[in-house]
Structure 1
């Protein structure tokens, strides 16, 4: 059991920086090139306001991270099983958060940024189903904010990658927690009967 608790703690410690990076990436999306004027004028991509990185990959991910890190040792085997069930439930919350972050980031990437073009403020890439990602020469259609396509693509790809890592970590703990919650009482009964 000590091994599984140590494993869960190490996964929690891995989740913390990932969650903080998701929060930071989402905050940077709100302020293209460090400017606040686009937020004030509501000139950001609509999906950014769903806060995939801030809510799903960030704050929601802190629940499993803190739960995994705070797993303690317990003398009672049944309490250990309950503790691992709790960590499995926290992992499910993390899976939901990482999926939310991934979906929102993907939709934002497919929609493309809202920017000022020759025709005014628009979503010039919205109907191209993400094909603009393979055509960097078309990015110059956005005049303001400067380099908004590069800014969004970079940060959204970071969020997608972080969401995948968070999903894998939570999936590992879900499997570990369920196996330990189910198998540990059986092992304990066998040990007890052998000692008797």
Structure 2
């Protein structure tokens, strides 16, 4: 697969993941699916906006850049037909690094939230009744949270989804870093134009079955 085509596939995958991470973070503002009267009763890690900023907003920019790489024009750059495409692939590495940082931020926040557990009412006050993730393997102590109802599975499910999806995003952006390096060094497999239209193609050209030119 061409480096531009590979980047497009990665971009297509990143966009729905970014949307899902944003929705998951928004749902966390409604513990147990309910509106709390005091915002201070919402788990602290929700306010770090890991899913909204890290895996959401910061992920949209690299995703859009990846989507546009396949159709990026590679001609007319200082007399070198390939340098435009190579520069675009190089810039994608920078955006991919931004995506890795955003996904990494969401991953860390989610991991901390899962280990700490939710903030809930134990019947006396709003606090964090669990310590060091002890509730993860012991469902019987979930009853320590009296309200909101189902706050523990709600917290666990959404932050676990954020953890998994941000991890996938980081891997995909890491793949684009490698893909971008190949594209920067070797160029994309297809050059703009066609041999019968432009005489500025590379010296070594192979015709595909569909008569498009592949530059090497």
Tell me, yes or no, whether TM beats 0.5: yes
TM-score using structure 2 length: 0.81
Deviation of residue 193 (structure 1)? 8.4
Which runs of no fewer than 5 residues in structure 2 stay unpaired? 76-80, 192-201, 206-216
Alignment size in residue pairs? 186
Q: CA deviation digits over 1:132-176, x for unaligned, max 9?
A: 101111111101111101000000110011011101110111100
Is residue 16 of structure 1 aligned with residue 15 of structure 2? Answer: yes
Tell me the equivalent position of 2:211: none
Structure 1 equivalent of residue 163 of structure 2: 160
User: What does 1:14-163 align with in structure 2 at a 5 Å threshold?
Assistant: 14-38=13-37, 40-71=38-69, 72-75=72-75, 76-125=81-130, 128-163=131-166
Q: Deviations over 1:18-66 (max 9, x none)?
A: 000000000000112332225x442011111101111101111001101
Instruction: Name stretches of at least 5 consecutive residues in structure 1 with no aligned partner.
Output: none
Query: Aligned partners of 2:204, 2:158: CA distance in 1, in Å?
Result: 57
Instruction: Give CA deviations for 1:46-104 in whole Å, capped at 9, x if unaligned.
Output: 11110111110111100110110122232220111100011111100100011001000
The verdict on how the C-alpha distance between 1:30 and 1:90 changes in structure 2, with shifts beyond 3 A counting, is same
1:183 aligns with 2:151: no
Distance 1:77 1:41, change over 3 A: closer
Cα distance in 2, alignment partners of residues 46 and 102 from structure 1:
15
TM-score normalised over the length of structure 1: 0.89
Q: What root-mean-square deviation, in Å, do the aligned CA atoms of Structure 1 and Structure 2 show?
A: 1.9
Q: Is the 8 A contact 2:73 2:84 kept in 1?
A: no
How far has the Cα of 1:182 moved from its partner?
2.1
